[in-house]
């Protein structure tokens, strides 16, 4: 009888264990199915990807030597973008800060060229320039951004020409200051001076971006620059790949007071996945990334959040989020934290489309405004490559290094000296 009871207890325990395991598996399968259903209905728009940088570093932008469909050496390829349910990707045209005041404009043009070629030569991808184009695309919609204001060489005409080439977003800084805006980093000596958060010319850049309908990107900008832009811009702005400072105290992340200003502005923060920005270490997982989403949601609401993972830019991503195929792992984690389908639809794509449409609406309201002719003063620059265009008949010495002609000044001095002698 004792043996029978022990067997009965053991059988009951095994039955309980199996039922519990099946219940857990059912929950996991249910969450996975819900994730895939939501991401199929609302394909992700990611705010920042640096694949173009990898193409330059490893292939010198020669697409004929690169398989974009399947390349395990990078975090991004078409096969894994499809697996990650990516319906839109903002690709960054980025050049190093060491090109500032040198050939940054040329290099940026080359990066724009390789993005345009990549997105027009592959049938799975489509180059878009409007919110409507991104919303309606049935392919992987590509939007071009410039990462770093040094790419325009402090020239509003250059900014306008980049817009004509399809650029719809620009980060005001990268890891170096420009003459008119301040970076969150101090890695380079460029334009390290006081009161450089947003100069008058910097405000003119923001104004012209508002007029054009170009997204102002504040990732990489200093908090003071971000604060100034948020108070100045008439259109919503975004942080294309930044996370919450309250979770990880890195200056590339955004503190709560700036999040509140972003809410007032109607803009968007697209959360970065880079381990050093989400965990302040190389030991990160999906849960800590989700903590950033939870925190930002508590402070300003889910409607102000997107995803800007920074794949192929940063090195070192959380376990479970190693490449562009892994986005569903994050959405599944957020579902387990009771995020609703409406909130996730916003995070995945609708929030970005709303902000982009509002930027275009501000553009339409400013159609009566002529293109800005504001120029940065030469005293704000430190660029020996910049010259003043003067009639070639004038003496060479009068226009080297951007100096004004000296002949009228010399003539005036001679006249004054002669007049003194005659007195």
Catalytic residues: 48, 50, 147, 174, 220, 241, 310
Would you tell me the crossing angle of helices 104-120 and 51-59 to the nearest 10 degrees?
100
Distances from the Cα of 102 to the Cαs of 150, 199, 340, 396, in angstroms? 10, 22, 49, 22
Distances from the Cα of 208 to the Cαs of 155, 158, 163, 225, in angstroms? 11, 11, 11, 17
User: Pick from 309, 305, 390: which is nearest to 92 by CA?
Assistant: 309
In the DSSP assignment, the letter for residue 370 is P
How distant is the alpha carbon of residue 136 from its chain centre?
22
Please name every residue paired with 271 in a beta bridge, in sequence order, or none if there are none.
307
> Would you call 305 helix, strand, or coil by DSSP?
strand
Taking the alpha carbons at both ends of the chain, their separation in whole angstroms is 137
| Contact status, residue 298 vs residue 260, Cβ threshold 8 Å | no
How many whole angstroms separate alpha carbon 148 and alpha carbon 117? 21
| Contact status, residue 298 vs residue 268, Cβ threshold 8 Å | no
């Amino acid at each position: 009888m004792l043996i029978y009871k022990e067997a009965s207890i053991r059988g009951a325990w095994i039955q309980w264990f199996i039922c519990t395991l099946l219940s857990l598996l059912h929950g996991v399968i249910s969450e996975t199915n819900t994730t895939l259903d939501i991401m199929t209905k609302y394909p992700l728009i990611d705010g920042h990807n640096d694949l173009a940088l990898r193409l330059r570093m490893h292939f010198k932008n020669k697409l004929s030597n690169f398989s974009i469909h399947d390349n395990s050496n990078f975090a991004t390829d078409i096969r894994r973008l499809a697996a990650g349910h990516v319906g839109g990707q903002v690709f960054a045209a980025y050049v190093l800060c060491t090109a500032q005041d040198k050939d940054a404009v040329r290099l940026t043009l080359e990066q724009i060229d390789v993005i345009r070629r990549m997105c027009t030569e592959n049938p799975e991808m489509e180059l878009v320039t409007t919110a409507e184009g991104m919303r309606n695309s049935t392919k992987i919609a590509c939007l071009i951004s410039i990462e770093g204001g040094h790419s325009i060489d402090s020239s509003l005409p250059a900014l306008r020409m980049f817009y004509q080439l399809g650029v719809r977003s620009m980060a005001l800084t990268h890891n170096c200051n420009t003459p008119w805006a301040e970076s969150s980093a101090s890695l380079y000596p460029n334009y390290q001076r006081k009161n450089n958060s947003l100069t008058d010319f910097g405000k003119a850049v923001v104004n012209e971006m508002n007029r054009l309908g170009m997204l102002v990107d504040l990732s990489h900008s200093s908090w003071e620059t971000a604060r100034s832009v948020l108070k100045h811009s008439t259109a919503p702005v975004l942080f294309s790949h930044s996370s919450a400072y309250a979770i990880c105290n890195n200056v590339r992340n955004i503190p709560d007071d700036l999040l509140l200003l972003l809410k007032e502005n109607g803009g968007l923060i697209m959360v970065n996945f880079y381990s050093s920005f989400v965990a302040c270490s190389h030991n990160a997982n999906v849960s800590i990334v989700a903590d950033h989403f939870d925190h930002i949601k508590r402070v300003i609401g889910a409607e102000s959040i997107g995803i800007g993972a920074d794949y192929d830019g940063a090195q070192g991503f959380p376990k479970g989020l190693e490449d562009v195929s892994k986005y569903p792992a994050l959405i599944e984690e957020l579902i387990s934290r009771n995020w609703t389908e409406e909130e996730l639809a916003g995070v995945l794509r609708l929030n970005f489309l709303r902000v982009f449409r509002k930027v275009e609406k501000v553009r339409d309201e400013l159609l009566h405004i002529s293109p800005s002719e504001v120029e940065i003063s030469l005293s704000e620059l430190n660029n020996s490559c910049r010259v003043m265009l003067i009639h070639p008949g004038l003496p060479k010495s009068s226009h080297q290094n951007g100096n004004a002609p000296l002949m009228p000044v010399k003539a005036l001095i001679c006249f004054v000296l002669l007049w003194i002698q005659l007195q």
